[in-house]
Chain A
Amino acid sequence: MKPNKRGRKTASTLLTATLAGTMLISACSNSGGNEKANESTGGEAASGGKASTLKVEVFDRGNSPAGSSITKNYLTQFVQDKFGTPNNINVQFVPIPRSEEVQKLNVLMASGSDVPDIVFTYDSGTFYRYAQQGGLTDLGELLDQYGPNLKKFLGDETLAYGQYEGKQFALPAKRSHLGKYSSFVRQDWLEKLSLPVPTTTDELYATLKAFKEKDPGQTGGKVIPLGMSLAPAQYEPLIWSFIEPVTDEQRYTLTQQLGSRDYPVLLPGFKEALQFMNKLYNEGLMSADFSLDEDKKKLNEDAAKGLVGFFSEDDMNPFYPDGLYATLQKNIPDAKLSAVDVYTNSEGKHPKPEYAPIGMFLMIPKSSQHAVEAIKYLDWMASEGNLFDMQNGVEGENYTLQDGVPIVKADAADEVKNRIYNYGDMAIISNGKQLGDADKNVEAYVVGMPEAFQEETRKALSVSRSDTIKPVLFDRPIEAQAKYGTALLDKFNEIIVKTTMVKPDQFESTFESVMKDYMANGGQAILDERTKAYEAMK
């Protein structure tokens, strides 16, 4: 069987024909798809009397309770009944998987269709990118025209965060409680050793030493005087307390914003903070495997087992039902955890970062045909107690009011409780409950905790709000931050881990080399741009 040249040629022609044919098929279906897409948008625009459709993004965390779904539940129905139907608008919720939110949003934006009319993200980098690339609707006039309540609710301070080159391209949600961190000590250990509650960093060091030497918890040498992890809640309170008081200029130019946080890498005092961590680590006063513990799992485990003497944490994290404190008390019934404010700066204050007064960035893509309806929706949410109803459910069934603070009814049936299971993702104009003033907002958190822990929660929350450092806000975006931010976050962690874990005599050289690496990979670019931006702003 020896096919000649012609045979070969015919065969390959056949193949080519097949290929061409399939290309054609795909080309046809391509245009088919587009036509359909055009048709539907055209149809919507043309229909005057018919209900228009407003598509709103919602985070899907896969935690919808039985009997409801992320797109069909009490709150979606509430929105439709109270806002949609009266305004002849069909509100449709588009689920976006929480964990891949930015990536999915990117793809939807790039595809130009299927984009919800209201999208949001916590990631300021994504917001700046969209704004810079010209993909967002300027909301300034729309807000004046259709969103008076919304504008009043958010306020100028919050709105400033949603501006890009002077234009209102996003509406940041308003954050109700700005406190971030508190610290906690094993009160029962202090009592056992007849030690006072530490009030300064030096006293804390002495306390940690005593914990290590005397092992009041009888852990058999496993005691971890200072619980540490590679999460900001653990290292930020320590590091920021070492930062020297700075001028405005230093604050603006030397701070580095990576992701949503400000980092003090170049501020005076940063090196001393690391040196202190190095000392604690090498003297065995701190969690040995902290560098592996990015999700605080190990820290929580150690603390729950009663091995940890002192640690910093997100303000009220230990107090949740079945949380850290509850577990600790199950393991060690007479364990007592107290909220304390310890780390001190050179002025005797207890500085620690606070949140920017914002939550998510709410955006309306330029391609949206329903920007007006979108603003109307958000305005509706901001008016006449609608936000309150979305966050709290039905009075008498979900909560009772006491001095203007809603007390959640713990004995309500699951179906009732589940009504508002994702109110944080649905009531998008606010992060946290808004009850009129900051103290009431905080009180709402306190009464949400188990009764036995409410007093300590109150204390922890007030610690988190005292002597706080506000994030630095420029009037213009710093592009280098968007570009290098995520990469530098990893480098920042490397700085902490490497300088903390080296032998003390190698601290200097290690610090120098990691800082050099940090600066070369974008740190310098951010510094230069911030310096320039500060000059221009002055």
Chain B
Amino acid sequence: MTVAKEYLEYPLRRYGMDQNFYEWSLLVNRPKVTWPNGARIALWITTDLELFPLDQPAKPFKAPGGMVTAYPDLRHFTTRDYGNRVGIQRIWRLLDKYKFKSSVAMNSKVAERYPYLVKKINQRGDEIIAMGVDQGKLHFGGMDDATEIAQVTESVNTLRKLSGQPVRGWMSPAKSESWNTLKHVKNAGIDYVCDWVADDMPFEIKAPDNAGKLWAMPHTSEISDRKIIIDNKHSEDEFVEQIQDQFNGLYKETEKYGGRIMSLSLTPYISGLHYRVKYLDQALGWLASQKNVWVATGSEILDAFKKQ
């Protein structure tokens, strides 16, 4: 085998990024941000309400948390669905205890199947972020454009219709996008996306074909129960510790660099388990006891950021 001549050609070797989605910008060079009431940390708690279909396709890849065994994989289907039935109400009970708002990234299929959840979200004053149709309907490079437009439209329209919310945020299932996802979600009226984790603060991101600009919100893939407890297999104590360390690390730099966003990503079938809830209680209670924290939804944080 040999390497083609083009392998040593670098047409995008230039100042800034090698793509046209967003501009290069050092976080430390940006103006200081102040949050409402002088808060230093905007705490953005998100929960995922997901449906992993039994017939989830294996290609191009399976969303994390997806089916594992041969069909019908009832054990994974039901352990995931446990989060939508049992786990989420435990998380909500804790969020109520500390009067924390949250944003809920939701497959539109979950809203259709479980209207109760939509009602509860609206009662709590939480924000719905569109998370595609279900965890089997991925967005990925090379997918058919018409299929993607249909998936985006179904997700956003269904969630808007069932919740009455404007639905301004988008998170792709498995945070996977095609080359055109930004264009299609922009055309569907989405203001911000959660798939790009390049920053601790929002940054502008361009939809291709001059479809306009959106914001990339810093939805964490790190301070998440999926990453820390499932992928890394850390203990619940260590999950709490890393939440605290993240907060302390961000807080420390706010004096010099201005307000920061702390994103905490929770999955009901992971954090909502019996033996984990008390640790989540510890973490949320600790966060509630910190000074200068503003707990808000993604849209509220973005709006406050844009006003600066």
| A and B from one complex | no
